[in-house]
C-alpha cells in the first residue's frame, strides 16, 4: 500500500468513527428523554417490562450493536435518575471518550 492510500484509509476510518459517535449521541439523547418521561409520567411512557428492558443491556451483543444498546441504557438511566442535561452531557462525553478515541 502506498503512502497516499494509507493516509486516505486512515482518513476514512476517522470519518467512520466520527459518524458512529454522532449516531451514539443520538441514541443516548433519545433514551435520556424516554427516561425523563418515564420518571415524570410513569407507566404512560412504557410498561414495567419495557422499563426493565431499557434499564439493562441485552446479553450477547457485540460491536456497534452493543455500543448502540449501551448508549441507550446509559441515556435512559440518566434520564430516569433525573440527571440535568449538564450531568447527562458529562456521561455521554465519558462514553464517547472511552469508546471512540484511541
- Residue 67 has a pLDDT of 87
79, 33 contact by CB (below 8 A): yes
pLDDT tier, 12 (very low <50, low <70, confident <90, very high otherwise):
very low
* Cα dihedral 42/57/90/23 (nearest 10): -100
- Residue 59 has a pLDDT of 85
Question: In whole numbers, what is the pLDDT of the chain averaged over residues?
Answer: 81
66: nearest Cα among 98, 34, 88, 32 = 98
DSSP string computed for 47-95: -HHHHHHHHSPPTT--HHHHHHHHHHHHHHHHHHTT--HHHHHHHHHHH
User: Which of 17-21, 35-39, 63-67, 83-87 shows the lowest per-residue confidence on average (mean pLDDT)?
Assistant: 17-21
Question: pTM for the whole thing?
Answer: 0.77
pLDDT tier, 15 (very low <50, low <70, confident <90, very high otherwise):
very low
Question: Which grid coordinates are listed for 55?
Answer: 434499564
Amino acid at each position: 500500500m502506498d503512502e497516499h492510500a494509507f493516509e486516505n484509509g486512515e482518513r476514512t476510518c476517522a470519518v467512520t468513527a466520527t459518524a458512529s459517535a454522532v449516531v451514539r449521541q443520538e441514541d443516548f439523547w433519545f433514551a435520556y428523554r424516554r427516561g425523563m418521561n418515564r420518571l415524570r409520567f410513569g407507566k404512560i411512557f412504557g410498561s414495567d417490562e419495557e422499563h426493565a428492558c431499557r434499564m439493562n443491556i441485552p446479553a450477547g451483543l457485540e460491536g456497534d450493536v452493543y455500543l448502540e444498546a449501551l448508549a441507550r441504557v446509559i441515556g435512559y438511566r440518566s434520564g430516569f435518575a433525573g440527571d440535568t442535561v449538564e450531568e447527562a452531557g458529562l456521561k455521554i462525553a465519558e462514553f464517547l471518550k472511552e469508546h471512540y478515541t484511541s
